[in-house]
Structure 1
Amino acid sequence: MFFSERPPEVLDQWEGLTNVLSRSSELPELPDAATWAEMGPGERDAFNNRRLDYLGADLVISTPQLRAVVRKAQLAVLQNRSRVAGRLGVLISGESTMGKTTACLAAMKTIYGRYALQYPQFMELDHKPVIYIEVPAGCTGKAVVGRFAQFLGLPIRSRDTLESLLTTVVGQLQKSRTVLVVVDEIHNLSTVNNGNGESVDVLKSLSNRVPATFLYAGINIHLGPLLTGDRGQQIRGRFTAEVLHRYMTATTTEKALWKKIIESFEHQLLLFNHHEGDLAADTEYLHDRTRGSIGSLGRLLTGAAQWLISTNVEASDETITREVLESIPLDIDASENWLQSDLAHMDDGK
């Protein structure tokens, strides 16, 4: 039960992305106490595996920020329907652990689902409505195009020039009827050098030649050199931006939203003895612990739930307590902040 039987999916390959986007996000139903008591060890292990896989698949919480990203992506796709030039795009920015890739997935899943409804036979027609690539650090223009080629399953030969490879990729994207192209980790192009400048030009060329909407995502790209100079001005003139930020609790409205986000996670934790609202007394603790990062909050709560499920405790013991939360390690950034906050509280108590 400790290891998943489901092979991991890779987003930057068509088959893996398709599996993720077409996977049902329906919440598994917990059996009642009597049914659980009657289950044999094998049945319980199988159900626990389902719970662990669901919790490990990056729960998507419908926050205002995530809804804004999805809406902007949908609107850009609509506005680009008949454009032959100057197509609009979307830029997602923010610090690490703010949920940028999760927001990308939500946008891709929405567009993919709408396309599948309109064109039920799209798989047989070899359409690829959604494309996802990650930009490698310090890459050249050819390396960026190579990522598209790999996603599309196109051969890459050492003798291929940038232009020949670009022409092949453009042709395949047009043939694939691609409507949304997600370029993640684009902050890797923020350093000003010839290779990165060439890569930005390649992305611009692709957006001009492929009738698709481009969505860029990266760490604090709204503050970096990617949006400066002539190249940056072109992006600023065509892209709408959604900057994902930490959730604050300074006002009553902010506190209510943070509490609602926690409850949304609780609703999906699949524990027998933990229910939505049970962490109401710990909202301030959870904010201090995670610095208001939805990514850190998700890892903390799902990690606690997975630990309780994997340790084979009784159904009545499946409750997330402060002790359980304290036992779950978080990312270095959140942990350092929590230590500083803890020390500050100690000083205040002197």
Structure 2
Amino acid sequence: MTEELPGDIGNPYSTLTTKEGWRAFVDEHPEPPAPLAPGAVLDAEELDSYQEARKDYHSSSVIVATPTIRKVVTTGRKRIVLNRHQVSARRGLIVSGSSGTGKTTAITQLGKNVEQLARRRNPAATAQLPVVFVTVPPAATPKMLAGEFARFLGLPLLHRMSQVQITNAVCDLLAQLGTTLVLVDEIHNLDLTTRYGAEASDQLKYLSERMAATFVLAGLDIETSSLFQGTRGQQIAGRYSVIPSRPFGRRNRGDREQWQALIVTLEESLRLHRHQPGTLLALDAYLHERTGGLIGSLSQLIREAAVEAIDSGAEKITKRTLDTVELDHTAEQARPKPASKRLGKKPKAA
């Protein structure tokens, strides 16, 4: 049976896993729509355009410099420096945690920081490609993994090409482009207890040896996965340090201050005409209860509520607005039930 390789990627700018999409991400600097002048009157078309611009702005995730992001960026940049003169056994980094804790955001912010710095240092090097971003596909084989790197680069892939041919083409091109950082997401898809997973892990190790670059990986709960098991796992554990990505807590003062700072940043980003600053901060306990401290769920909750506030004309977010937003299944399952439901009682008729 012939192994399938990645085919048509559609719009390359819609994904980070192509060089065009990655560059668009690095170049992106979302700006909020300009506020309306006092007394401004818009016709129907202008009003629709203005509303859509604000909804589009709120649909973009606000990047907050969380403790995890700061640690990943700081540690990742140090690893790049330490690996400059290493010819083998380069040290890497793994970001591990549950879903919604900001792992992908953390590594992509590291990549964005590294690429922007490289551009500032050498603005004339337009052909450089400091950062590569790929994801590990489910049930990945070594050839599929090499194909993901080729897909990012836009290398044409023929089904008759062997794994070795694809790997050599990828490594040769990345050496020419001066790549210093390789980001690999969804690393939990490498199951070392299976033949293909073990061989794909070997391929990733081989790529890290062939490329003069620092590898930063991210995945779900890597510490308890098969990635650190057996001889192969020991090699990975010996070269990579782990940065945990956890939900925000509220048990002590420091945790509460970090959670509140996150809410303040998200609230300050709102562009709603009648929203009172401090409203969301006053709901910090409720917001933690709704989201379980997951930054991904919190971002969705506030952004969707903002879009609803524009659509409804309320132009502000209230607890009632937030209550109407359906979050991801994990957050909804953890959401405390009303007392009447917990006790098995029927709610009183209004």
Aligned mates of 2:144, 2:339 — CA distance in 1 = 47
Aligned mates of 1:170, 1:181 — CA distance in 2 = 12
Identity of matched residues, % = 33
Alignment correspondent of 2:61: 58
**Any idea what the Cα deviations from partners look like across 1:5-24, whole Å, max 9, x if unmatched?**
x9962111111111111111
Residue 34 in 1 paired to residue 38 in 2? yes
Alignment correspondent of 1:327: 324
TM-score, normalisation: structure 2: 0.90
Alignment correspondent of 1:87: 90
Alignment correspondent of 1:299: 300
Q: How far 1:188 sits from its partner (Å)?
A: 0.5
Q: 2:100 aligns with which of 97, 100, 107?
A: 97
Residue 214 in 1 paired to residue 219 in 2? no
Residue 285 in 1 paired to residue 286 in 2? yes
Alignment correspondent of 1:246: 247
Q: 1:13 aligns with which of 18, 34, 45?
A: 18
Alignment correspondent of 1:3: none
Letter in 2 for 1:180: L
Letter in 2 for 1:182: L
Residue 22 in 1 paired to residue 27 in 2? yes
Secondary structure (helix, strand or coil) at the match of 1:12 reads coil
Q: How far 1:117 sits from its partner (Å)?
A: 0.4
TM-score, normalisation: structure 1: 0.90
Q: How far 1:38 sits from its partner (Å)?
A: 3.2
Aligned mates of 1:117, 1:46 — CA distance in 2 = 35
Aligned mates of 2:13, 2:21 — CA distance in 1 = 8
Aligned mates of 1:69, 1:256 — CA distance in 2 = 21
Counterpart contact for 1:266–1:275, Cα < 8 Å: no
Counterpart contact for 1:11–1:132, Cα < 8 Å: yes
Counterpart contact for 1:135–1:188, Cα < 8 Å: yes
Counterpart contact for 1:174–1:210, Cα < 8 Å: yes
Q: How far 1:47 sits from its partner (Å)?
A: 3.3
Aligned mates of 1:21, 1:275 — CA distance in 2 = 33
Counterpart contact for 2:192–2:201, Cα < 8 Å: no
**Number of residue pairs aligned between Structure 1 and Structure 2:** 336
Cα RMSD, aligned residues only: 2.3
Counterpart contact for 2:136–2:186, Cα < 8 Å: yes
Aligned mates of 1:154, 1:244 — CA distance in 2 = 34
Secondary structure (helix, strand or coil) at the match of 2:150 reads helix
Q: How far 1:57 sits from its partner (Å)?
A: 2.4
Q: How far 1:162 sits from its partner (Å)?
A: 1.4
- Structure 1 gap segments, 5+ residues each: 1-5
Cα–Cα, structure 1 residues 130 and 47, in superposed 2: closer, same or farther, change >3 Å?
A: farther
Counterpart contact for 1:130–1:180, Cα < 8 Å: yes
Alignment correspondent of 2:4: none
Alignment correspondent of 1:170: 171
Letter in 2 for 1:42: E
Aligned mates of 2:109, 2:340 — CA distance in 1 = 38
Secondary structure (helix, strand or coil) at the match of 1:121 reads coil
Secondary structure (helix, strand or coil) at the match of 1:250 reads coil
Counterpart contact for 1:207–1:214, Cα < 8 Å: yes
Q: How far 1:191 sits from its partner (Å)?
A: 4.9
Letter in 2 for 1:277: G
Aligned mates of 1:155, 1:292 — CA distance in 2 = 43
